[in-house]
Structure 1
């Protein structure tokens, strides 16, 4: 074999070896990406099902394979949020935004985390940045969350405006209608309050007792006692063993009492106590607002 042929064969062998090496490396990356996608999908499914322990397990595996994927980091941060590890949650949201500053899901969620931590100014700033993204589909949630911030500051006018914007963005978004009903109720505008509480009890919120109970309270304020009684009976029937059922039973019993007893001091004292219990119940619900409004990145 001539030197020239030998040199040519060596060159071909080297070329084939290099090609195979590159192909193997490419396959390895493809396989990692596929595995990451599978773990990410499983983790997101578990997150939606509120199985946060398994969500964390799968999403950590996904992150180990694709450490700089903003969608994985967003859902991982959410999982830490629901696991009450706010420090790691914040770290992962911020990392997701460093990788993809246009990730409005992550920014919206970071704002919700700041809200939860009591950093209202930071939360407001992040929500306003999300509002700059005109194609972001969850602006109705952003407006709702801004309304919560303004209510914390007792800026009722701003809260009204953002709640109306929230409803304009998604007409069947019942949390905004419920909160708007609350505002009208506090202003003693009971007709408008009832209308919004009625709307808030439809769709996905139908199985929530609070809007139904607030409807009954509004009806009582409007002097529509028989209608209020029917609503209390519905609560007793539809929401057994709940705190609202207990309050509804007491309210309905008082409506049925003879008229001459309703002016007694004992009746007024009991009514005041029940109203206080109702207020405490609603205050406990206030503390839960916004915690379920975080947005997962899509599974695929």
Structure 2
């Protein structure tokens, strides 16, 4: 026996869940079913949403909105072919329904055909009275296509419609940042703040733009206004702390980081920044304390372990540094800078085999810095493998063909390998490149610097340059 919803008190959701627990069947208006389904979808309860759709369509088989919700769930679950068949049927009944085009656009988006999705969304926009949600979807489609200018325009439309749509505001600023148009972001945010002077989110974003442009006093002012607008806004205190750090005001920075800890539960990032401030204040005991607090709070924060590594490395406690760099590598073994740090520590420990391996890992992962090639070559030479050292420097020259420092080192290593022919060619290249840096060769290879062989090459180059 079906009971009308008016016969039982309570909200539609509570009544619907009560119905599921009994053998009774309650009657709901189509709008009630829509509310119930949206509730479950918003809370990630897809199975219950599907039950509501099924019962809803049994009671209201002609409801286009319920059919559209059915299609939305099918698209969400990647049942795209079934969803398209239902859309075809629905379009015959209501060809001017914007939601039909939106769901078709979602299907094309799922298939990575973003241009087709955009065309359908513009068709939906023509049929829409508001268009807010459609502009948001357009923005996301343009982001998928890496068209940041068009994405930005779409999200700007959302903000025009709803000044409090902070998600779209963030996306607008994200596009400015990706395009590295910090001046444009500053202008846009200032215009926005003229309309919404107490928006802490906008002040916070404005401060971040000033920070990127190294306009620290202006950034500080913006973060202060964010805090005035909302004195519990943790992000503003944290960013203000970063600005104060850059300005060398470490005690004030610490105060702001501590405020973030007071507002919410302690965060490893706040502890890490406090530790960095104390280290710059040369309060090493407090720095170490906060670094250990960092990894205690979040053992998976690799930057915390790296901070402890650096702390011990600077104090030449290489065994401890080695222990902690391995903690960082266990968390992020794909980070080339960590491998380079590991190589430097192993070199200090005179573990040249391990240092060689670490430098190779750093290069394989994309660290092509000049110092990496130079130090790796030195390690190979200390390992007694001079030919590998020369080969490493040859690879480095592919990235730094004009580096005199690299050329002088390579010439010296070739002489160590008794390869005078190639050493002569390399030394001539170095002298032609930058004769003023000859001292690098003289300091590192004094045994070759004052020989007739070397002096004759230098004299020839000097004569040729007159």
TM-score range, shorter chain: 0.5 to 0.7
Q: Which has the higher contact order (CA 8 A, sep 6+)?
A: 1
Structure 1 residue 219: Cα displacement: 1.9
- Within-5 A mapping of 1:156-195: 156-195=284-323
Structure 1 residue 187: Cα displacement: 3.3
User: 1 CA distance for matches of 2:299 and 2:385?
Assistant: 42
Alignment equivalent of 2:328, drawn from 169, 182, 200:
200
Mind listing any 5+ residue stretches in structure 1 that lack a counterpart?
A: 1-29, 272-300
User: 2 CA distance for matches of 1:197 and 1:71?
Assistant: 37
Q: How big is each residue's C-alpha offset from its partner over 1:213-250, in whole Å with a ceiling of 9 and x where there is no partner?
A: 22112223334221111112222333353234323333
| Correspondence 1:218 to 2:348 | no
Q: How big is each residue's C-alpha offset from its partner over 1:100-125, in whole Å with a ceiling of 9 and x where there is no partner?
A: 11111101111110110111221122
User: 1 CA distance for matches of 2:159 and 2:196?
Assistant: 11
User: 2 CA distance for matches of 1:204 and 1:63?
Assistant: 40
Structure 1's 217 and 97: CA in aligned 2 closer, same or farther, altered over 3 A? same
1:77 corresponds to which residue? 207
Structure 1 residue 135: Cα displacement: 3.1
| Correspondence 1:129 to 2:270 | no
Q: Secondary structure at the match of 1:171?
A: coil
Q: Secondary structure at the match of 1:132?
A: helix
| Correspondence 1:154 to 2:299 | no
2:427 corresponds to which residue? none
- Which TM-score applies when normalising by structure 2? 0.45
2:196 corresponds to which residue? 66
**More off after superposition, 229-238 vs 93-102:** 229-238
- Within-5 A mapping of 1:8-23: none
Report if aligned partners of 1:80, 1:88 keep a CA contact under 8 Å in 2. yes
Q: Secondary structure at the match of 2:368?
A: coil
2:373 corresponds to which residue? 246
| Correspondence 1:96 to 2:223 | no
Report if aligned partners of 1:43, 1:56 keep a CA contact under 8 Å in 2. no
Structure 1 residue 203: Cα displacement: 4.9
2:140 corresponds to which residue? none
Q: Secondary structure at the match of 1:160?
A: helix
CA-atom RMSD in angstroms: 3.4
Structure 1 residue 141: Cα displacement: 1.2
User: 1 CA distance for matches of 2:176 and 2:295?
Assistant: 27
Alignment equivalent of 1:45, drawn from 171, 174, 177:
174
User: 1 CA distance for matches of 2:159 and 2:173?
Assistant: 20
Q: Secondary structure at the match of 1:102?
A: coil
Structure 1 residue 208: Cα displacement: 4.0
Q: How big is each residue's C-alpha offset from its partner over 1:158-217, in whole Å with a ceiling of 9 and x where there is no partner?
A: 1111011111222222222111101122333323211222233455683342x2122112
User: 2 CA distance for matches of 1:226 and 1:165?
Assistant: 34
Structure 1 residue 45: Cα displacement: 2.2
Structure 1 residue 99: Cα displacement: 1.4
Larger Rg: 2
Q: How many residues align?
A: 236
Report if aligned partners of 1:36, 1:62 keep a CA contact under 8 Å in 2. no
Report if aligned partners of 1:236, 1:249 keep a CA contact under 8 Å in 2. no
User: 2 CA distance for matches of 1:148 and 1:184?
Assistant: 14
Q: Secondary structure at the match of 2:263?
A: coil
User: 2 CA distance for matches of 1:180 and 1:212?
Assistant: 16
